[in-house]
Structures are given as C-alpha cells and as structure tokens.
Amino acid sequence: MTKHIFFSGKGGVGKTTMACAAAIHHALEGKKTLIVSTDPASNLSDVFEQEIWHKITQIKGVENLHAMEIDPDEATREYKEKIISPYRQIMPKDVIASIDEQLSGPCTTEMASFDRFIDFMEADEYDVIVFDTAPTGHTIRLLELSVDWSKHIEEAAKGSGQTCLGPVQSIQDSKYKYNRATALLKNAKKTKFIFVMRPEKLSLYETLRASKELESIGITSGELIINGILPEEACEIGFFKKKYEAQQKVIRETESAIKKPKRYMLLRDNEVKGVASLRNVAEELFSKRKTHSPRYYRGKSLNPVRDSSLHTLTPSSSGQAASPTNIGRLLMPERNGTKAVFFTGKGGVGKTTISCIFAVYTAQKGFKTLLVTTDPAAHIGEVLDARVGSKPVKVTDNLYAVMVDQEEAFREYKERVLSDARGKYSEDMLKAMEEELNSPCTEEMAAFDKFAQFIESKEYDTVVFDTAPTGHTLRLLDLPFDYAKQAEMMVSADEAKTAKETAENRFRKIIDILKDKNRTTFCIVLYPESTPILESYRAMLDMKASGINTQMVVANMILTEEVCTNDFFKNRREMQMRYLTEIHKKFNLPVLQFPLMQKEIKGLKALERALSYIIG
C-alpha cells in the first residue's frame, strides 16, 4: 500500500527542505520513494542540486529515491492531448481546432496540474510518495479541487452538458477520478499531512488557519514540524536572546494550541543544499531526541566577542544601493496619475511586511495609498494590527487596506456578468453562462477581475500590491489573456467576437499600465540565500519576457555585523554577504538592504520604526 505524505506551510518556513529530508529518510529505510512538487515555483532541483523538471528523475547518491517537478505548461499540453487524441481520427480538423481552443481557457492549466497530481496519488509503483506543495493558501485550493470539479461535472451533466473544459462526456471519467482522490485525501491510513512552521506568531496563525480549513473539507490527519529554532548557546547577546525567548514562547503556545505529533528542527549556521546536508537534516528530524531543548546545540565552537544592542545596517561594498531618492522615484505617482507598486517573491521572504512598510511610507508623504493583498494566505491585518476585509478600510491618515477575498469576488463577479447579460441574451443562453460561471476556475478569474479594478481605479494616488508567491503571481499576470477567452466561450458564436474584443481591450489597457515603468513599479523581495535568489531571478526573466521590467530588489532579513558575535552567526552573515554580492551582479538593479529585526513587526508604530531603516 502506497503511503502519501503532504508537506505544506506558509512560504519560507523550510517546507521543501523538510519534504526532501523526509523523502531521503524513507528511501534510506529501503522504501521506494518519490517526491513530487506541485508548486508552480518548484525548487526541488535547487535543493537536490541536480536537474529534475517535469520527468521522474533518479536522485544521485540516494538509492530508491526519485523526484519530479510538475510543470504547469507541460502538464497542460499532456492533458489537452489526452482529451483530444481519441477524436483525431474521427473528427474533422475544424472540430479538433474548436476543442483545442476551448481547452485553452483558464480552467485547463489548473485542472491539468491537478490531474497529474491525482495520477500520482492513484499510482502503486512506490511505497511512499511525498508531495511538496505550494504555500498553504494555494495548497488548500488544490485539495478543494477534487470536490469542486466533481460537483461541477455532475451539475453540468444535468444541464447543458457543457463545462469550460468541453463536453461532459469527454471528461466524465474525471468525476470518478476526483471522487477517488477525495476519498484518498481523507483516508488517514494512506495519507498524512505535515505542516511546517517557524516559531513565529504569524507562522502559528497561518498554521492554525490552514489546519482548520483542511478540517472543513474532512482532512484531519497530520503532524507538525517546528523549523528554524535558534540554539540557546548561540543567543548570548541581547538581540538574539530576545528572539530566542520569543521563539520559545511561540513553541509553548503551539504545543498548547495544536494537539498533533511534533518534530523540532534547529536553525543551521548555513543553508541546507545537496544530498549530504539533507541526510544530516533527516537524521536529526527523525531522531527521538527533543532537539529544541535549550541545552541542545549542534554547531561550531562559540567565541563571544562583545554584547551590543546596535543593529544598524551595514551597506554592501559592491553593487548599486537603493537610496531614499531611488525609492521616492520608484514609489511616487506621476502628477495627476496613480502609481501601482508590486512586491513579489518566494513565499516567506517578508513581502507582506515590506509592502506594509512602503505603504506607510507613501501615506506619510501625503499620497492617498491603498494596500491590496492578492495572496490567499494573506495576513496584512496581522502586520497592520487592524481588521482588514474585502472592502477598503482606513488604517490611518492616507492609508487604506483591502484583501481580495476569492469567494466574495466570485459572487460579485458572477452576479455582475449575469446582470449585464439579462435582457441581452435568451434564457437558454443565460443558463449556459451560469453553468460556465459555476466552474471552479471562475474564482481565479473573479479574483483577477477585482485586482484589475484596483489597477483601473483613480481613487488612490498609490496602490501597493502584496502579491502571492512568485509562481502564482506570474499566473495572475497571465490571466488577462485567459479572461478574454473565457468571455468568448460564455456567449453564442454571433456574440463571441464582441465579448472577446471588449475583454481584450480592457485587459490590453491593464497590460499597458503594467508595462509602463512610470505608472507601475515591480519590486522583488528576497533574502540572501540560494533558493530565493534563483526563484526570483527566474521570475524576473519570465516577467521580462512578457514585457514587464523589475525595477528594484529588496534584500530582507540581513544580519548586521554588530550582532554577529559568535561563529554561528558569523557563518550565517558571511553566507549572506556572499549572496548579496551575487544579487548585485545577477540582477543589476538597485538593491535595498533591510535588516533582521529583533521583534516581529506588528502595528503602525513598529512599521514606522522599521521605515527609519530605509529613509534614515
């Protein structure tokens, strides 16, 4: 019997590292093991230090271990061919072309990746399959799909017989497949979910939220890994001692709030890359020692230098620094115009906090600013220490915040489309449109529609977007073209041309805004380690291929020299300095360095203090 193990968590908590270490552990036990990444911004190749991509690949140096990264584009091509190929010999070419066009809508990419994911769940070739999933908000969406699509196919079969993926007959087998997947996900004997978190309040909040959402769809089996725990012996000065105490407090809160089996992992003095490092992590992760004990420390000898409460930022000696003048130019709107500012990057790099800091900055400069999050696992309300919902709410003078709620956006979008159509089209056509709108992928389109409304709005001087992790952000930016195709499919052939042209004209204007560096600024947030750098660089190139240029890099969580007084933190700082040099050379953009803060940033006063590190 194949055991399925899902790893999930907020971005940047070390989910991929823990998943890879677990896969190695099971392989070394003699179990035939496969690790599959369902994250659009997968970095299994980076962690294992070998090319993997969209094919099952033997991991060098580990017998019994294979890996695969599900590539959304390649999965889409395979999925379309699987549906179309039975008809190639019996249908005219124009009919095949029509089916191919219909399968070019926004649903197909989402469904193709999910279909591949289910294929692995139903396979019995392996003893253990480890799924390294996307950050929690997107993972929950993925797991809900088996229920959503099964229901949509069933409803469509009772109505017009059409879905946004084509006729029900052509995908009817999928309904049974999705039902089987749902049963597997809920079977605790065959499937286990492991949440990975950092000992931080926001990470605990996200873990609790995600755990409840999974329970709401009937998934209760689970364990917890608390990763990145500071070793007490390395925290002898005030700066890190307080961080250590804060972590221990969160660990105690976690142990009280989450009654699941737990494993504990200490922070390393260097990044974990390659099979040898992963083996070491696997040994510690699956040992029976309680490794978060205050006296446990596996590191180099400690050489205290001096205590210091200073933590001012030491600029890098190489590359182009981002000065307050640069920042002002990138963030301030043109006269009588609106500036859109996007912060994107790998999960867990601090995008939300950085977005909030810069939103406070533009508001203090007197510009009416709206802070928008498009991340399904959003926590801007936690950072702002304010209640943020689906309608813009005032946080302080000139500063407003809003969260794009997919479910509410879906309801509004559906009602608006149907309301616009009433009186124009027949009842049969309205019924067909409603069926199309009820497909799960419409939620994504509705969220984009909301996103587009904020870009089009003239109500604010500056709109700051805290976006989802890079893979999902790139998908969001592809949606205008998918949206136009969906608009075309929802109406009759006679009306299709007008509908498509209307949608295309609207989104062509949005794309023009995104490409205009005077009206839009794209900033990548990362921390100076290999995986965030590689993922961010790929994202920058992908956006550039679409005509969208990145204008600034924010290097976050920099260790300052004054607080690195022993070998453990000196090693980590030395690693960061090497990667900062690489960032300057690789990106060739202004780089703003932001220091690791002693406390989690929460509330306006903390954001204002953080702002002082940027503008002095």
Residue 293 CB neighbour total at 10 angstroms = 13
- Sequence-ordered alpha helix ranges (H) in 29-105: 44-48, 72-84, 93-102
Q: Show the DSSP H helices in 189-323 as ranges.
A: 201-216, 238-257, 275-285
- Which of 489, 500, 555, 491 is closest to 527 using CA atoms? 555
Q: Which of 21-35, 59-73, 162-176 has the highest mean pLDDT?
A: 21-35
Domain identity same for 429 and 540: yes
pLDDT of residue 616: 61
Per-residue confidence (pLDDT) for residue 295, from 0 to 100:
37
Residue 110's pLDDT is: 63
Same domain, 416 and 277: no
Q: Is the residue at 305 inside a domain?
A: no
- Inform me whether the pLDDT recorded for 143 exceeds 50: yes
Structural domain that includes position 41: 3-285
Task: Report yes or no on 293 lying in a domain.
Answer: no
Domain match, 545 and 440 both? yes
Q: What is the mean pLDDT of residues 249-260?
A: 94
Q: Is residue 126 part of a domain?
A: yes
Question: Residue 318: what pLDDT?
Answer: 41
Mean pLDDT (whole number) for 489-505: 58
Q: What is the pLDDT of residue 280?
A: 94
Same domain for 423 and 366: yes
- What is the enclosing helix (H) or strand (E) of 394? strand 393-396
Q: Say whether both 281 and 331 belong to one domain.
A: no
Residue 447: pLDDT band by 50, 70, 90 thresholds? confident
So what's the pLDDT on residue 94?
Answer: 79
* pLDDT for res 104: 66
Q: Is 465 a residue whose pLDDT tops 60?
A: yes
The number of residues in the chain equals 616
pLDDT > 50? residue 292: no
| Measured distance CA(591)–CA(601) in Å, rounded | 21
Q: What is the pLDDT of residue 563?
A: 93
136-158 and 168-186 helices, crossing angle to 10°: 140
Between 402 and 11, where is the model more confident? 402
- Choose one of 234, 267, 285: the last residue of a domain: 285
Alpha helix (H) residue ranges in 61-126? 72-84, 93-102, 106-122
Cross-strand pairs, 37: 69, 132
Q: In the structure, what pLDDT confidence band is assigned to residue 305 with cuts at 50, 70 and 90?
A: very low
Number of domains in the chain: 2
Of the two residues 238 and 82, the one the predictor is more confident about is 238
At residue 464, does pLDDT exceed 80?
yes
* Residues 614, 616: Cα–Cα separation, whole Å: 6
Residue 186 has pLDDT above 90, yes or no: no
- Say yes or no to pLDDT of 585 above 90: yes
pLDDT at 91: 79
Q: What is the mean pLDDT of residues 129-148?
A: 62
Q: Compare 76 and 524 and report the one with higher pLDDT.
A: 524
Q: Residue 504: is its pLDDT beyond 80?
A: no
Do 23 and 172 lie in a common domain?
Answer: yes
| Residue at 306 is within a domain | no
Residue of 471 and 542 predicted with greater confidence: 542
pLDDT at 165: 47
Model confidence band, residue 173 (pLDDT cutoffs 50, 70, 90): low
Mean pLDDT, residues 280-300 taken together = 62
Q: Are residues 361 and 245 in the same domain?
A: no
Q: How confident is the model at residue 299 (pLDDT cuts 50, 70, 90)?
A: very low
User: Does residue 416 share a domain with residue 367?
Assistant: yes
pLDDT over threshold 50, residue 408? yes
Question: Do 144 and 249 fall within a single domain?
Answer: yes
The answer, yes or no, to whether residue 461 has pLDDT greater than 50, is yes
| Residue 312 located in a structural domain | no
> 525-537, pLDDT tens digit by residue?
999 998 889 889 9
Q: Are 197 and 257 in contact (CB under 8 A)?
A: no
Give the pLDDT of residue 209: 84
303 pLDDT more than 70:
no
Q: What is the mean pLDDT of residues 71-79?
A: 82
Q: What is the pLDDT of residue 7?
A: 92
Mean pLDDT over 332-357 rounds to 87
Cα–Cα distance measured from residue 258 to residue 264, given in angstroms and rounded to the nearest whole number: 14
Q: Compute the distance between CA of residue 87 and CA of residue 76 in angstroms, rounded to an integer.
A: 18
| Predicted pLDDT at 67 | 96
Structural domain includes residue 316: no
* Confidence band of 306 (pLDDT split at 50, 70, 90): very low
Q: Would residue 600 count as lying in a domain?
A: yes
Clarify whether residues 530 and 397 are in a common domain.
Answer: yes
Clarify whether residues 92 and 29 are in a common domain.
yes
Confidence tier at 99 by pLDDT (50, 70, 90): confident
Residue that terminates a domain, selected from 232, 257, 285 = 285
Q: What pLDDT band is residue 248 in, cutting at 50, 70 and 90?
A: very high
pLDDT bin (cut points 50, 70, 90) of residue 224 is very high
Q: Is the pLDDT of residue 164 over 60?
A: no
Residue type, 447: A
In tens, the pLDDT along 412-444 reads 888 887 887 787 777 777 776 776 677 656 776
Looking up residue 435, the CATH number of its domain turns out to be: 3.40.50.300
Among candidate residues 225, 258, 285, the one where a domain is terminated: 285
Across the chain, mean pLDDT equals: 80
pLDDT greater than 90 at residue 231: yes
Q: What amino acid is encoded at 469 in this protein?
A: P
Whether 275 and 374 map to the same domain: the answer is no
Grouping H, G, I as helix, E, B as strand and the rest as coil, residue 422 is strand
Structure tokens at 136: 């929690």
Q: Using CA atoms, how far apart are residues 200 and 599, in angstroms rounded to an integer? A: 10
pLDDT of residue 335: 75
What is the model's pLDDT at position 376?
60
Mean pLDDT of 349-355: 91
Q: What is the pTM of this model?
A: 0.77
Is residue 534 situated within a structural domain? Answer: yes
Flag whether pLDDT at 324 surpasses 70.
no
pLDDT of 239 > 80? The answer is yes
